[in-house]
Amino acid sequence: MSSATIALLGQPNSGKSTLFNALTGLRQHVGNWPGKTVEKKEGSFIYKGMECAIADLPGSYSLTANSDEELITRDYIASGKADVVCILADSSQLERSLFMTADYAGIDVPSFLVLNMADVAADQGKTIDVKSIEKKIGIPVLLFSATEGKKYEPYYETMERAVKEKSRINVKALEAEYEKIEGYSELKEIIPEGIISGFTTMWLSVKALEGDKQVLSMLKARLSLEDYKKVQNICNNSQGAIATGSSKFRWIDEILDGSVTSQKESIALGKLDQIYLSRIWGKPAVILTVLLGLIASFIPALPFMGIGQGIAALKTPVAAALSSAGSPDILVQLICTVLIQSFSYIVQMLGFVFGVTLVFGLLEEVGVMARISYVFDNTMGKLGLQGKSVMPFLVSFGCTMGGAAGARVIDNWGQKVLTIALAWAVPCGAAWAVIPMLSAVFFGPGAVLVIVAILLTMILHMWVTAKIFGRKLVQKNDRYGMIMELPPYHKPKLGALLRYVLGRTGDTFKRVTSVVILVCGVFWLLSYTFVPGSQPILYRIGTAIEPVTKIFGLGWQLFIAFIASAVGKEGAIGVISALYTGGNLSAAFNAAMSGAGAASNLNEILLTNVSKAEALAFIFAMTFNMPCVVALAATFQETYSVKWTTRIALYYTFTALLLAAVAYRIGLLIF
Amino acid sequence: MSLSELGKDSRAVVEKLTGDERFMSRITSIGLTPGCSIRVIRNDKNRPMLIYSRDTLIALNRKECMGIEVTEVAG
């Protein structure tokens, strides 16, 4: 076989990603389908010295045009880019998961069938007669376990056979079932063979009966008005998807009849599901799982964090070395403040992205993520999101960037972006370090009330933001309730997952580096003293618009600290401390951003310079500001959208100031 | 009767499915068609329903269940 292009097609939980990762290893890249907001995964592998390209098509339950994912999958197959389509089914649930195969039958592209998760089926005591299935279905069939180590030879052989034989599904028996549907034969008369390349008349007739909008509009464009009217009439009077679906399942039953023997069905829920699916313990169990996952994410992340902090520590010696070598101050600053600082951030962040992607990818593969979806479906549905969105929210209490990376498990792009946008409203670990400290200085025991107020504001913020952004991001037809399978738990294939996560982390590195350097660079420009004796731009802006920011309760020092908190919340206190002690602005920024501590007499400084109402305003402004430059970069990485990332960032800057204004007015009333 | 009226552990056969085209195609592609037998695993307030059909554990949003009519059979 000369080189081939393969497309992977399968329902959710059919082990498609595992197979893709195992086949491609690090030779894969993730992007977006042109003009669409759906993730595109492509890769390659070498077989017998030939390079084969492989595309992982978005997972869906069928090939009806219900969503962008399904449309992309269909268009890709029909385009003829793939020489062969590998259809996956779950051996432990053949009857249901062969639906995709039945839906595919009639597409004019060679295919072969992989009955994945053979190990799960065997555990259930099922025996599957592959040969008899193959005989009835007419394409190569393989019983396979994508999670089992190195046994991929049979896979390659089956693939090769399908490419050589150009094998197509035998649709005779299926068509006999379709013939029983009222209107099918008439449709077949009207729609000529070859009217739309890649699809047979049988397939188009069935999709028309199902009321598939894309197929109907293609037919409308290609048929005479009279003929199209006939098509419409037939379809309006038909039973649609119910009838065709029943035909498909009858065909599947026929194929499986005598090929699959199973012991008596037993559907006792396992111990784990007794807990996850319990009405009382479900939610606590999910929250605990996510928090443990978060902690586990830190384990692989720790070495990276150490390296990242080590990089930041290089600033001082590098600066000294450069200065003594006679470099101009501006160059020293650029290298140390912008470059070294950026890389320190990025490396620390990558460790965490790696950890989160690995741990939550594992939960997804094992089947826990589906349970999380089930438990939080109702709660998250109120925001127009899936149950899975609860996970990024919880992770964001630790780190917003981790939350953004974790949002990757959400399969609908709009819901993913909205989830990240809402996760920004969750104060992260760095904010939680600052909030109690500042609150305690100004309000003593009242700090508890401030924290409660912040949590309530967070919930309100998320709700309002969901309303504002949700209108655009989550279309009405995506706001349907869940209809999903809770897959049986299965063993993950760690090696394949690890390679995938490494690849993703590499991707992230490439993408975020530019964003972080750019943002850090802009802040540096704003805070650097170019002309000795004059003030940096940020100072001039801050003092010039102080009359305006005073309305929000922020004097120029606090306003600049607010701006600094967009780079990193941990830097905010250091900046305040430096500014009120008359420090040099650019040095202050610099020191604060690399985590330098505040002055020892910070409490006095704050109490003499800032009123209680102003403090309250600042706490709210800082908490609900953009989380940090790294979270911004991660958001860009996950959404692939400059437009939405910018929108979210500007929105948060604006709402943070608005909340500050409200907090200030309330503060004035109280104090 | 509607699917959501069934209690935990009851068995039933799907009689009729009603809804828009999108719902029909989604519900059939996950394996629910007229005549298939199901068993209710969980029916808790504020959670999707959990049913077992065609070897699969399926979670269904309550609103979506409105369009699923069933006949209870003795388990």
* pLDDT attached to residue A328: 87
* Cα Rg, chain A, nearest whole Å: 29
Write the residue in B22, B33, B60 that is nearest to A246 by C-beta. Answer: B33
* pLDDT attached to residue A652: 97
Q: Is the pLDDT of residue A599 over 70?
A: no
Among the listed ranges A155-169, A193-207, A448-462, A597-611, which one has the minimum average pLDDT value?
A597-611
Q: What is the tens place of the pLDDT at every residue in A336-354?
A: 888 888 888 888 888 888 8
Nearest to A8 by CA among A107, A114, A103: A114
* pLDDT attached to residue A417: 94
Q: Is the pLDDT of residue A166 over 90?
A: yes
**pTM tops 0.95, yes or no:** no
* pLDDT attached to residue B71: 94
Q: Is the pLDDT of residue A161 over 90?
A: yes
Mean pLDDT of chain A: 88
Write the residue in A95, A100, A279 that is nearest to B55 by C-beta. Answer: A95
Q: What is the tens place of the pLDDT at every residue in A69-100?
A: 888 999 999 888 999 999 999 999 999 999 99
Chain B residues whose CB is inside 8 A of the A488 CB are 57
**B8 interfacial to chain A (CB closer than 8 Å):** no
Q: Is the pLDDT of residue A190 over 70?
A: yes
In which band, very low, low, confident or very high, does the pLDDT at A477 lie, cut at 50, 70 and 90? low
* pLDDT attached to residue A575: 82
Q: Is the pLDDT of residue A1 over 60?
A: no
In which band, very low, low, confident or very high, does the pLDDT at A481 lie, cut at 50, 70 and 90? confident
Write the residue in B21, B39, B64 that is nearest to A240 by C-beta. Answer: B21
Q: What's the CA gap between A37 and A24, in Å, rounded?
A: 23
Q: Which residue has the higher pLDDT, A127 or A580?
A: A127
Q: Is the pLDDT of residue A586 over 80?
A: no
Chain A residues whose CB is inside 8 A of the B4 CB are none
Nearest to A621 by CA among A434, A423, A404, A400: A434
Residue A206 CB partners (closer than 8 Å, separation 6+): A106, A178, A184, A244
**B21 interfacial to chain A (CB closer than 8 Å):** yes
Structure tokens given for A652: 């948060």
Residue B75 CB partners (closer than 8 Å, separation 6+): B9, B10, B11, B39
Whole-Å CA distances, A155 to A145, A648, B18: 10, 45, 41
In which band, very low, low, confident or very high, does the pLDDT at A580 lie, cut at 50, 70 and 90? confident
* pLDDT attached to residue A99: 95
Write the residue in B26, B50, B61 that is nearest to A61 by C-beta. Answer: B26
Q: What is the tens place of the pLDDT at every residue in A615-647?
A: 999 999 999 999 998 899 989 988 888 999 999
From A382, which residue of chain B is nearest by alpha-carbon distance? B46
Q: Is the pLDDT of residue A367 over 80?
A: yes
8 Å CB contact of B58 and A477: no
3-state helix, strand, coil in chain A (%, to 5): 65, 10, 25
Q: Is the pLDDT of residue A541 over 60?
A: yes
Chain A residues whose CB is inside 8 A of the B69 CB are none
| Residue pair A442/A669 in contact by the 8 Å Cβ criterion | no
Q: Is the pLDDT of residue A55 over 90?
A: yes
* pLDDT attached to residue A478: 66
From B64, which residue of chain A is nearest by alpha-carbon distance? A481
Q: Which residue has the higher pLDDT, A531 or A522?
A: A522
Instruction: Please report, rounded to a whole number, the percentage of residues in chain A having pLDDT higher than 70.
Output: 96
Residue matched to tokens 């669409």:
A36
Q: Is the pLDDT of residue A236 over 80?
A: yes
Chain B residues whose CB is inside 8 A of the A484 CB are 30, 58-59
* pLDDT attached to residue A483: 87
8 Å CB contact of B26 and A378: no
**B63 interfacial to chain A (CB closer than 8 Å):** yes
Q: What is the tens place of the pLDDT at every residue in B12-70?
A: 999 999 988 888 888 999 999 999 999 999 998 889 999 999 989 999 988 888 889 99
In which band, very low, low, confident or very high, does the pLDDT at A333 lie, cut at 50, 70 and 90? confident
Across A534-561, average pLDDT: 88
Q: Is the pLDDT of residue A590 over 80?
A: no
Q: Is the dihedral of CA A189, A191, A195, A200 positive or negative?
A: negative
Q: Name the 3-class secondary structure at A260.
A: strand
